[in-house]
Chain A
Amino acid sequence: MDSTATRTVTFVYNYKDHENKDCVAQLDIKFPFDQENLEECLTLLLNQMDPMMRDLDENINLENHLQDFVDTEHQKFLDDYAEKLIGQAANEELDLEAIVRDTERLYKDELLQFADRVGPRDEDIFAQSFHRLVHSSSLEEILKRERAYAKVIAGMTEHMDSEVETLNTSQQQEMDSQINQLDITTTSEDINNLLAQQYTTQNFVRKRYESELEAKMGHQKNEYRDWITSQVSQMFQVSPVATPLGNRSSMFVSQQPSMEESFTIHLGSQLKHMHNIRILSANVTELCSPLHAEESLNGLNMALGLYSSSLCGVVVLTPSIQAEANKNIIKNANRSTEFHFEQIDVQLEKIEKQIRSLSTTDSNSTPSTASSNSSAEGSATPSPTKKHVPRLKTGDFFITKHSNLSQSHVIFHLISDEPINSPSEINSRHPVILGLRNILKTASRHDITTLTIPALLRHEMSEDMTVQWCIRRAELVFKCAKGFMIESASWGGAELSTLQLLLPDDISESLFTTLAGMVPSVFHVANPKILVDTSSKS
């Protein structure tokens, strides 16, 4: 409704006061009227009267009159307003086609009854099949297969690496010998030629392997998915045997990080929610190491959790130069075939494309509805960005999904230029911190219940990170994380069950102890429950 379309009518109430004098109370009332305001109007009118009148129960009579008046006037207002609209519609002063269009879109987009039905997507079906299968007796077989596949890929990658390595050395030797002969038998042109030739050879070898790998991975993926689907249809014929295993992915951690300490905390002022906090020092790539590199229980955990509602996520910092993930992680992810999602390179490529389109729409200052949906409503007012800079900024993040890494299903690549610069002081309104909050929010909305965040917002120690700075920084991150976790209780999503605070692996033991010692005081660690036999006492 047009918000300017209101009308004010004066309500006049004639009454006799306790001395039987005629009195008047009046009030301007705005229409359309909200019934919730009735009592307020009543109070305003009563306040114009002698306080005695309340005791004489005049308020009851007044309320009846006021209610009648409001009802009549409200109805009249609505009818008149409708009359005007209908008149306008009849005279074609309104854009009726726009109404038709909008109404149709609304009904088709939001009501199942009118929507163009699309069946479930392939990935949904596969997800369900896999989830069911992985919770059946076939689990072992699945893992066995995955391991075998991974071995092949790992073998190929190793082979490629070693061949490239040999090629490198031989080329190096060749080059060295040529350089030694420089100005004797060879010219600099020769060297340049050789360099070009070497480069082409190397490129050729690499490309060959890469395409081979790609083909192999594609082949594996198809075979694997076909096999899963066939298993599921078989399973329907025989009765399904469910394994009693839960899908808490963080139950076992196979790679023992160098140092770690765990706490149980209760957050919330009256109603307390329990969370686990684990502080550990490790290299972030260890948390994203290849899943099948060794015989471990993690394969099982990751498979069980993959399509469940208790996912594991890791926050990895990345500079804003481009949507570029940590090289080691890419390498780890490429050590085996990604059976469930796209290979990491493809995911990154797509994200880069999205960023470019995002940037162009940003500069055109139109909402990016083309590629996104309702959750992009916030972009209706895009923050002013420099034109033609196709990149994300500090605090933004992109997400990649994985089924072949050891401790993470989801990687949040949080853009932070901060580590490049020398250690600086930031406050709780810094974009990286706000980005962290968005990550927690996304985690809550998408059932990521185990999340690892870099506690110093750094992945490596450097000379200039003093103990004092580390303490200040850790305190900031701890406190903000605590605040966000308390806030998350009202987001209505999944509760974060475990928060892992990741410290660089090259941190000194004493600093680790200091920082770990801060956790209980910041997060208010739950007191241990000591069971005492009270029957003998009191």
Chain B
Amino acid sequence: MAIKPETRLCAVTFFAKLHPGDVCGSNGLPLTPNSIAILGRAQRLKELQDEHLCQYLDVIRGKHERTIVVSEYVGCSLEEHVKRHPPLSLAQILRIFYQVACGINVLSQHHLVAHNLEPKNILIAPDGRLKLFNYGLYFMTKGGAYVPFPVGNIRYMAPERLLGLNGNVKSDVWALAMLVAELVLGLQLWPKLKISNVVRKVLAFARSNNVLEKIAREHQCFEVYQNMDAGLRQLLEKCLHASPGQRPLPRELLANKCFADILQAEQEQEKAKEDESKQQLESHLPPLPLLLRCPLSQIYHLWQLAGGDVQAELKKEGLIRSEAPILGLPQIVRLNGASVCPTRSQSHLMDDRVVPLKLQALLQRLSQLPACVYFPLLHSPRFTSQHQQFVLELQQLPLVIRERDIEYQFHRVRLFARLLQAYPYTAELLQREAAIDIPPLLRGAVWAALLEVVPNSGYGKIDKFTPTSTDRQIEVDIPRCHQYDELLSSPDGHRKLRRLLKAWVTAHPQYVYWQGLDSLTAPFLYLNFNNEELAFLSLFRFIPKYLHWFFLKDNSAIIKEYLSKFSQLTAFHEPLLAQHLSSISFIPELFAIPWFLTMFSHVFPLHKILHLWDKLMLGDSSYPLFIGIAILRQLRSTLLDSGFNECILLFSDLPDIVMETCVIESQKMYEATPKSITHRQHALRSQPPQSLDIGLTDVELKHLQLEQCPRISAKDVQHLLLHSPDDLALIDLRSVVDYGHVHVPHSINIPFATVQLGEQRLEALNVPHLEAQLRGRIVVCVSVIHQNAVEFSHFLVACGVQRTCILHKGFNVLHSIEPNILISN
């Protein structure tokens, strides 16, 4: 299959090894499938970015242990190149030698070995640059342990590898020298030999003093060997020394004087190229599509959004063959898992073909966009084009649609990428854009920015290994934390989660590990799998913001206050539901602790948490309470019909919640609730309270538990009066005389002494049109005697009046407001 030169992405596929029979790991849990282990290990490879390496982009797990690896692809393979342009000049060969050695060197700096070096896995870009391809196979399969097939081409395999010693970078040096020898001698090694004989030949090198000479003699080109450039010959002979100890390391290889000329030539070329690109700008040659100047990870992401399906592409090339599953059924399966199967078909064998992923459609789709979308200008509003209109229109659509719209995501990804580059200077802009939505591709970094994380390399200093008393609990929790997710269930995911949790515990001597911290950490690890520090710092900032003091060894006071506030807010927004729940004694302690302690990350799957937290990150510490109410609201009809037992059963395994509605509802409530209503003593505060706010220690837990309705501060009442009087209904409970003396304009006077609260109907109050006056407003009960206001507010809740609250400190506090808001008759 021909790969066109403009190909940028490609995929290869293989099957991971099946676990034989039925085995459990040392912890008694079922073994992780090998494909998951591969997926976890391969994540690290995505981080490698070097001009001599093809970037890894994605690892996908198919059905039945199939693993698909998506990576960069450029130009054509060395194998094809040699076929197309024989023979190569000495300079060209040296360039290939040098650049591949560079690639190996980079790998060894990252403590990796390729072990599958062969002409097929070396790519030559049209500009002559070489890149190693598929170099991560040995690493991601843990030295081949996770796959049934051997890694590496036998012809280029160093003898010690055949003897069973893997992992030595010098085996790669051997392979490189072998393929350079092929080029220099202008031959193909043992083209017609059977595998067994090739193995014998390679093993025989172990006894040979001069491998290169031997090869030359065997292939009847001793003359070429003799006429070879002496420096190169010496170098090759050294690299092909039977004993790896004598072979040079990649960095020693690069320093060889053979390459001096190449280096110089390369530098000159570099300079020439720069000039050329300048010229190109001036001339009117068709320039590279703008899209190809974007990072490959973005291109791949967009390709997927544009309907790209790797599995379908592989199917088209016949790499995923669908065989009727009924034909592969075993005939007998024993209790121990042993089975008798029909002979395996060859579709399960390793097929190393490379399948290009076509970018044409994507390029076409995005080619119409102006350059300012590709490279948005943040501070020059006059450059925003008519495309802004398109973006605004799309923002009316549901989030799910926006996240799948390629053009919209392209806008967002480019914009956020730019904003992130300039972070922390763009923090405010980021906050504003994130309020609209967050592009999934960059979510990890955006969240970190919203949490005001600034990496400071402190994570490296934290002790993550010294055993502590919490280790046992962590060990138990990790294999149960979001294990449906492939990343988090991989051994690498477990290891990283353990490190993060231990680091957090070490970094917070004042706190303890509470079960649930694992779930709380999971989303951050999931989003920043390759950047533990960012995950850690995000968590580090997240917890004080939303869960201040929650992880104290004795956190009962904090939890109690939180849940009491939750009850109050439920009564505030859902009075009837709150009434019902309290009447059947279904208190939040029975169901809501895991909700809040894990910020819902224990009750929802990751994809839902991500959308939920997108909004959570923008709100303050009270936002989670509204999410809780939104969940209750979604289940309202079921809950209202249920007794205590049904409720317990319902919440023991939370039913499917529609996240989009939940997010929208919670946001609405969050915005419609004055800040003082959510006042908690234990919340983290950025500013000290002012005189009209609710004071730090004003409201004690016993108040919270006694009062069904929350208190509102005079400041918020004043604000409402001044800015949105239509949202406020003030019920003045003082006597008619006092009311006549001085009162708040448009307030309703219901003297507490005159009302009968026995009958729970609004009509019983005998105030005309009361219900209409209260509907849709924030109802503030004001009295001089606090207890009266409390009792009256309870009555209103029982009547189903929404948004009832009590004025903190009673009527007299209103006197102190400057300028005066009170009037008298």
Contact = CB atoms under 8 A, between A and B. Distances in A.
Interface of A: 1-2, 32, 35-36, 39-40, 43-44, 46-47, 54, 59, 75, 78-83, 85-86, 88-90, 94, 96, 99-101, 103-104, 106-115, 117-118, 120-121, 123-124, 127-128, 131, 266, 268-272, 306-309, 311, 350-351, 354-355, 358, 368, 371-383, 392-399, 401, 409-410, 431, 434-435, 438-439, 441-442, 445-448, 487, 489-494, 524, 526-527, 529-530, 532, 538
A107 B195 contact: yes
Given A43-B465, A272-B656, A492-B33, A106 B637 contact: no
B168 A82 contact: yes
B702 interface: no
Given A375-B18, A396-B333, A43 B463 contact: yes
Nearest to A81: B165
Given A85-B163, A127-B324, A272-B656, A354 B64 contact: no
B154 interface: yes
Given A100-B203, A398-B331, A82 B339 contact: no
Interface in B54-106: 61, 63-65
Contacts of A355: 332
B164 A492 contact: no
B466 interface: yes
6 contacts: A1-B165, A86-B242, A127-B324, A270-B482, A379-B334, A399-B330
Interface stretch (B342-350, B409-417, B539-547, B729-737): B342-350
Nearest to B519: A270
A117 B656 CA distance: 50
A373 B349 contact: no
Interface string B499-523: 0000000000000000000000000
Contacts of A399: 329-333
Given A86-B242, A378-B338, A392 B332 contact: yes
Given A371-B340, A374-B344, A447-B325, A396 B334 contact: yes
A270 B148 contact: no
A309 B325 contact: yes
B18 A374 contact: yes
A379 B331 CA distance: 15
B802 to A, nearest CB: 8
Contact of A99 (B203, B339, B352, B466): B203
B741 interface: no
B363 interface: no
A381 B21 CA distance: 10
A532 B638 CA distance: 12
Contacts of A35: 111
B168 A103 contact: no
B21 to A, nearest CB: 3
B602 A354 contact: no
Contacts of B325: 309, 311, 446-448, 494
A358 B336 contact: no
A80 B245 contact: yes
Contacts of B149: 106, 110-111
A260 B230 CA distance: 86
A135 B324 CA distance: 14
Interface string B422-436: 000000000000000
Contacts of B35: 492
Interface string B185-216: 00000000011100110010011000000000
A538 B776 CA distance: 8
Interface in B345-365: 345-346, 349-352
Interface in B467-493: 482-485, 489
B159 interface: yes
Nearest to A412: B333
Given A271-B605, A372-B339, A86 B243 contact: yes
Given A1-B164, A111-B149, A375-B341, A527 B203 contact: no
Contacts of B340: 354, 358, 368, 371-372, 376
Given A89-B206, A492-B33, A121 B345 contact: yes
B333 A442 contact: yes
Interface of B: 18, 20-22, 30, 33, 35-36, 61, 63-65, 111, 148-150, 154, 159-160, 162-170, 194-196, 199-200, 203, 206-207, 242-245, 249, 322-341, 343-346, 349-352, 460-461, 463-466, 482-485, 489, 495, 602-606, 633, 637-638, 650, 653, 655-656, 665
A270 B603 contact: yes
Considering residues A1, A59, A492, which has the most beta carbons from chain B within 10 angstroms of its beta carbon?
Answer: A492
A466 to B, nearest CB: 28
A104 B345 contact: no
Please give me the 5 A-B residue pairs with the lowest Cβ-Cβ distance, nearest first.
Answer: A378-B21, A379-B338, A377-B20, A110-B149, A79-B245
B350 A94 contact: no
Nearest to A55: B461
A199 B695 CA distance: 105
B516 to A, nearest CB: 13
A270 B602 contact: yes
A383 B337 CA distance: 11
A375 B339 contact: yes
A448 B330 CA distance: 13
B326 A358 contact: no
Nearest to A350: B331
A103 B349 contact: no
Given A121-B345, A272-B605, 4 more contacts: A104-B199, A270-B484, A442-B333, A494-B325
B243 to A, nearest CB: 5
B468 to A, nearest CB: 12
B502 to A, nearest CB: 10
A104 B160 contact: no
Contacts of A90: 206-207, 242
Given A82-B168, A397-B333, A110 B338 contact: no
A441 B20 CA distance: 13
B463 A106 contact: no
Contacts of B162: 99, 103
Contacts of A307: 324, 326-327
Contacts of B332: 351, 354-355, 358, 392, 396-399
A118 B346 contact: yes
Contact of B196 (A94, A100, A377): A100
A492 B333 contact: no
Contacts of B249: 75
A442 B331 CA distance: 11
Contact of A379 (B242, B336, B460): B336
